[in-house]
Amino acid sequence: MDTEIRFLQILEDDFLELAEADATQTTARAKRRRRGTWIGAVAGIAVLAFGIGTLTGGGLLGQQARRAAEATSVVGVGQGSQPRAPALLPAPQPANAGALPVARHALSGAGSTSGAALPDATAATPPLTDLSKIVRDGSIALTIPDGSFNDRFARVIAIARQGGGFVLSSQTQGASSGSLTLRVPSAAFDQTLVRLRALGVPTSSTVTGKDVTAQYVDYQAHLKVLESRRSVLLRLMSRATTIGETIAVENELNDVQLQIDQIEGQLRFLDDQVAQATIDVQLLEQHARSTIVAPGDIQNPSLGRALQRAVQGFLAVLATVVVGLGYLVPVAVLAGIVLLIVMLVRRRDLGAT
């Protein structure tokens, strides 16, 4: 600086230092601003995507909402899980087809058995309509008028008996709320649910059906093979000439018999599950509503359950955002193209001037 005044020279040095410090801060501030802009943009896009995902009913949230609506409407018209049945019926076909290779594999593994067992196993396959083995469960939570708990409790038991079923377990909390687990014949499942709904105001209800047809057919096929093998072994036993041969065949026979017993037990269990449906009933008087949220929460309150729900919730939000992004990406690409064209046109205009 061209001056003799020392004060101005000192001041110039001070401003130089300030400018350098400010430049460093400006760079850091710009970086922070850029980072903040990016974070803001990503958050904004995520929120936008979430909004779009929710509006379009995508993601798990939408699915859950639809599922809940379906479950309510099914019970609401008193038809139980009938609308679900067509979806479950086709399942036995691939399962049945899959059962054959299993049967063949079991035969080849039998070694000394003749191929005669194969046509038997195939011929014994029951017709398609008999294959539907569905285990049905239901739960219903009812809000009942104050002071009517004992009456409604007794009427639930009566409804179970009326449908040919029984009360598997029951639990009461005070004289205003309680829960019962009913076992009723599958044929009476829907009718029982309709009768239960009439006892109060349903706050939640679910009906689930578990298709065990494939499992059942597998067991049946395996059983046929084992029975064939047992008859072959019995024939071999009668032809055994030495003690060694007799013992070897008998050991083999014992193994086969054990497996047959196990499979028959499994089939009986599945038959029982299919024949009898389980219904959880939650009764709650009006004034006690706030204390209980849902039957599942009361029966199994646990940290693991809470964690599981948290993970499901996280994934549900994530899925909704992903669905929303699916809608956003094409729009963003179009906007980018338009922006690019505008920038190119402006640059050309600037170049011309």
Cβ atoms of 226 and 256 closer than 8 Å: yes
Residue closer to another protein by CB (options 16, 342) is 16
Q: How far is the CB of 343 from another protein (least distance, A)?
A: 22
Q: Tell me the angle at which helices 303-352 and 59-76 cross, rounded to the nearest 10 degrees.
A: 130
Contact positions toward another protein, by CB under 8 A? Answer: 1, 3-8, 10-12, 14-16, 18-20, 22-23, 26
Residue closer to another protein by CB (options 5, 352) is 5
Q: How far is the CB of 31 from another protein (least distance, A)?
A: 13
Residue closer to another protein by CB (options 3, 129) is 3
Residue closer to another protein by CB (options 10, 338) is 10
Q: How far is the CB of 12 from another protein (least distance, A)?
A: 6
Residue closer to another protein by CB (options 35, 105) is 35
Q: How far is the CB of 352 from another protein (least distance, A)?
A: 24
Please spell the DSSP secondary structure of 106-127, one letter per residue: HHHHH-S--TTHHHHHHHTPPP
Q: How many CA atoms lie within 13 A of 88 on its CB side?
A: 19
If phi over 0 gives left and psi between -120 and 50 gives alpha, with beta otherwise, what is residue 57? left
Q: How far is the CB of 28 from another protein (least distance, A)?
A: 13
Tokens of 331: 């729009």
Q: How far is the CB of 9 from another protein (least distance, A)?
A: 9
- Report how far residue 185's alpha carbon sits from residue 181's, in angstroms, rounded to the nearest whole number: 13
Residue closer to another protein by CB (options 1, 303) is 1
Cβ atoms of 162 and 107 closer than 8 Å: no
- Report how far residue 57's alpha carbon sits from residue 73's, in angstroms, rounded to the nearest whole number: 18
Please spell the DSSP secondary structure of 15-64, one letter per residue: HHHHHHHHHHHHHHHHHHHHHHHHHHHHHHHHHHHHHHHHHTT-HHHHHH
